[in-house]
Structure 1
Amino acid sequence: MPILDADQLATRYPVLDALPAEARARLLGAASWVRLPAGQLLFDDLQACEGFPFVVEGSVRVLKAAPSGRELPLYRVAAGETCVISSSCLLAHSAYNARGITETETLLMLLPGAVFDELLGEPAFRTFVFNLFAERIADLMQLIEAVAFQRLDQRLAALLLGKGRMLRTTHQQLADELGSVREIVSRLLKGFAEQGLVRLGREQVEVLDAAGLRELATGTR
């Protein structure tokens, strides 16, 4: 039984309105609903992909984990979006090659793989999936560029700027977002504080000089 009706879902996923009535009814009738708490493992490396997830509420962090425990965030799936790795696994009939973890309490509408395959015959749904690939590939190319060509201090400065003036976060959480380790991030933050760019507190970072951080992030400092 749908938790949201078709009109509510269409505000988050306009592709539903673009589908023929029969295809839309097939999608909504076959979908299952699941509500997950924050920090719940949604999928993991080598796990079989059982469906195509629509994130109706909340958000999911998708990352690549190394045997050492280090993690490299790949992208986030916010409300109104869906997961390109899931679609890739369904198209290739392969297992997951990344990990997905809910960041907040999350409501998912899960479409079975067989119905996903059927709906690819609908131009509107096929375009929706291919656009998803295009957007995520662009995001991943930016990530590759940042990891390959930017210093970690530049990436940290850019990350801080994107989170507002007062950040309620730990050094470990920042390290996880950057795919680094806490000790290095802590050392960089201490250096930022000594330069007057930030003020450090218990599980918080206050941005004091946004212009200075911006110069550092762009390599002009």
Structure 2
Amino acid sequence: MNHLADNWIDRFQGLRGLPADIRADLKNGSRIVSVPAGTRVFEAGQSADNLLLLLEGTVRVQHHSATGRDVLLYRVHAGESCVLTTACMLAFENYSAEGIAETEVTAAAIPRKVFDELVARSSIFREFVFTAYSRRITDLFTLIDDIVFQRMDVRLASRLLELASADGYVHATHAVLASELGTAREVISRTLSEFHRRGWIEQLRGEIRLLGREGLEQLVRSV
């Protein structure tokens, strides 16, 4: 933990150019926090009081829809910040989604007061915040485009290829994949059954084994 507290600012390329006084204020005004896997980092309706810059681990940000489904919005990885938190802090609004630690997470927590002061004082810090915000907004528009316009079989094939380990295993249930892709579990089950019929996958308990990676790749390239 001490080595993280000493040099965490330099882990973020956009912050390395901070002048000494701003760097000192950022370091002294923040704290390093750690939470175990499965922890709810924030939830809908909660106020955004700290900007978290992830140093280790992954946080899944998801929205609970009116139909009862959890829809994955994006993941925050080490070296990134959460765009939803940034938006809520800038607009003084509460969270509209929840963040779950998928792994053990270590982050630098920047309190609202420090965040507001540095955004006002430092062009470098301000550029870092808005550049990260802009990139994630672009990702969200891509997600919306995928959900609205792209076929589910293509999206599922692409996600299986992304999640597969080197030996071809995807450790995810139908419910998890449904959450990943913003659809119903039944839709995932039907599509996986078709993939199985084509000989592309084998369905096991809690995981999927890719047998025909070439077929999945060809499906993804077909659109």
Superposition TM-score, scaled by structure 2 size: 0.92
> Where does structure 1 lack aligned partners over 5 or more consecutive residues?
none
Q: Distance in 2 between matches of 1:89 and 1:171?
A: 32
Structure 2: how far apart are the matches of 1:12 and 1:102? 20
CA positional deviation for 1:166? 1.3
Secondary structure of 2:68's counterpart equals coil
Tell me the alpha carbon deviations over residues 104-154 of structure 1, each in whole angstroms, 9 at most, x when there is no partner: 010121101011011112111111111111210111111011001012111
**Aligned match of 1:148:** 148
Equivalent in the alignment of 2:29? 30
Residue equivalent to 2:112 = 113
Opposite residue 21 of structure 1, the aligned amino acid is A
Within-5 A mapping of 1:56-75:
56-75=55-74
Deviation of the 1:15 alpha carbon: 3.2
Alignment RMSD (CA, Å): 1.6
Residue 37 of structure 2 contacts residue 105 of structure 2 at CA under 8 Å; is this kept in 1?
yes
Runs of at least 5 residues in structure 2 that lack an aligned partner in the other structure: none
Distance 1:97 1:67 in 2: 12
Deviates more, 1:210-219 or 1:142-151: 210-219
Q: Is the 8 A contact 1:60 1:103 kept in 2?
A: yes
The residue type equivalent to 2:143 in the other structure is: L
How far apart are the structure 2 equivalents of 1:215 and 1:173?
Answer: 24
**What is the distance in 1 between the residues matched to 2:3 and 2:32?**
7
Taking only the aligned residue pairs, the percentage that are identical comes to 40
Q: Aligned partners of 1:42, 1:167: CA distance in 2, in Å?
A: 25
Letter in 2 for 1:44: E
Equivalent residue letter for 1:191: E
SS of aligned partner of 1:26? helix
1:67 Cα shift? Answer: 3.5
1:127 aligns with: 127
Mapping for residues 41-190 of structure 1, pairs under 5 Å: 41-120=40-119, 121-164=121-164, 165-190=168-193
Q: Is the 8 A contact 2:15 2:128 kept in 1?
A: no
Match of 1:109, SS state, is strand
SS of equivalent to 1:18: coil
Q: For 1:58-111, what per-residue CA distance to the aligned partner results, in whole angstroms no more than 9, with x for missing partners?
A: 110111111332011111000111111111111111111111111101012110
Q: Determine the C-alpha separation between the residues in 1 that align with 2:3 and 2:49.
A: 20
Runs of at least 4 residues off by over 6 Å? none
More displaced stretch, 33-42 vs 78-87 = 33-42
The normalised TM-score by structure 1 is 0.93
Question: Does residue 208 in structure 1 map to residue 211 in structure 2?
Answer: yes
